[in-house]
Chain A
Amino acid sequence: MLQRLPLALAAIALPLALREAFLVAPSEQKMGVVQRIFYFHVPSAMMAFLGVGLCAVLSALYLWRRDRRLDVAAEAAAELGVLFCTIVLITGPLWARPVWGVYWTGEVRLTSTLILWLLFVGYLLLRGQAGADRDATARFAAIVAIVGALDVPIIYKSVEWWRGLHPKVLKVSGGGGLDPAMARSLLVCSLAFLLLFAALFLERLRLGRLALEVAALEDRAARIEEGGGAQA
């Protein structure tokens, strides 16, 4: 029951987030109605960073402790990182087209976000291609995750290091920032997405544990069959 609590809270919070984005948040003067994409685009980016960061931390812990449950949790976090990064990469161009006149440019934040997505899609493909040596695959995937997560600070600081088209929404230094009324709505939407992330992470962890149990049973069945074959 307690495990389903984030799911129930997310189901309550998401309609509230929609209300904030469409009814409560004030209109933006220059961009107009299309700026409301912001209220799901930015929280999605935060959750993508959370997923990738969590994956890197759990991967580092896996390399230290060699506990397969940590590897399963890292994979779950990476999957959510890719999920929310996909949302960012789809909602971003849909926002950019009416404002910048193009769906995509070679701007640093956009490019580095695409690189992050490609890195973690690669990570998941690597996990999917796991051969007989599960431990070796898990070790290699953990290293890929830690190296891939180094892209997150680059994405975050890119608008400060390289001046591009992407606005400085969360102030990094010198200017930028957000109207307080918009910031309040962003906070509500971010909390709703955090609950959604927690709910999906717990569900995905349950799936990972189930996969571990199936793998253990498969190993056991294989050992029994090998034993039977040797006796015959």
Chain B
Amino acid sequence: MTLFEVASILGSGVAALGHGLAAVQAAVPDPAFVTGEAAARPDQVARGLRFLNAAYTAVWVILAAYLVLISTRQRRLERQMQRLRQRLGLDGPSAPGRSSGR
């Protein structure tokens, strides 16, 4: 198991513990948010839906933009690596994108 995998598992474990604690803390009296149908006017509901829609759209746009950014950076690095390997005469039978020169 590599150091990266250990770090990843440790991080996930800490976060899972945090979520468990949050769930325990959540079961308390005097809640900040109370369930029940809001007695709001239709225009208030429509306004709420507009903000809800904007917020969830923003989440997906940000996540999609990040994935595109990662993918672009990966392609650029792979091209750069291929160029360097050709320059160093390392291009052989090994798979593209893998370095044997470490």
* Contacts from A to B (Cβ < 8 Å): 26-38, 40-41, 44, 46-47, 50, 53-54, 57-58, 67, 69-70, 73, 77, 83, 86-87, 90-91, 94-95, 97-98, 167-171, 175-184, 186-187, 190-191, 194, 196-198, 200-207, 210-211, 213-214, 216-218, 220-221, 224
A217-B25 contact given A27-B38, A204-B70, CB 8 Å threshold: no
**Cross-chain contact A216 with B32 (CB below 8 angstroms):** no
13 further A-B pairs in the complex, CB-CB below 8 A; given A178-B31, A186-B26, A203-B70: A28-B38, A32-B48, A33-B45, A37-B52, A90-B55, A171-B28, A177-B31, A180-B27, A182-B35, A183-B22, A183-B27, A190-B19, A217-B88
Interface string of B42-56 (1 = CB under 8 A from A): 001101110110111
Q: Which of A40, A77, A170, A221 contacts B84 (CB 8 A)?
A: A221
B14 at the interface (CB under 8 A from A): yes
B62 to chain A, nearest CB (A): 6
In the bound assembly, the distance between CA atoms of A47 and B66 in angstroms comes to 15
Interface size on B, residues (CB 8 A): 59
Residues of A contacting B58 in the complex (Cβ-Cβ under 8 angstroms): 87, 90-91, 94
In this complex, what residue of A is CB-closest to B21? A170
B9 to chain A, nearest CB (A): 9
**Cross-chain contact B15 with A46 (CB below 8 angstroms):** yes
**Cross-chain contact A27 with B37 (CB below 8 angstroms):** yes
In the bound assembly, the distance between CA atoms of A55 and B73 in angstroms comes to 21
**Cross-chain contact A40 with B51 (CB below 8 angstroms):** no
**Cross-chain contact A171 with B26 (CB below 8 angstroms):** yes
**Cross-chain contact A197 with B15 (CB below 8 angstroms):** yes
Residues of A contacting B54 in the complex (Cβ-Cβ under 8 angstroms): 94
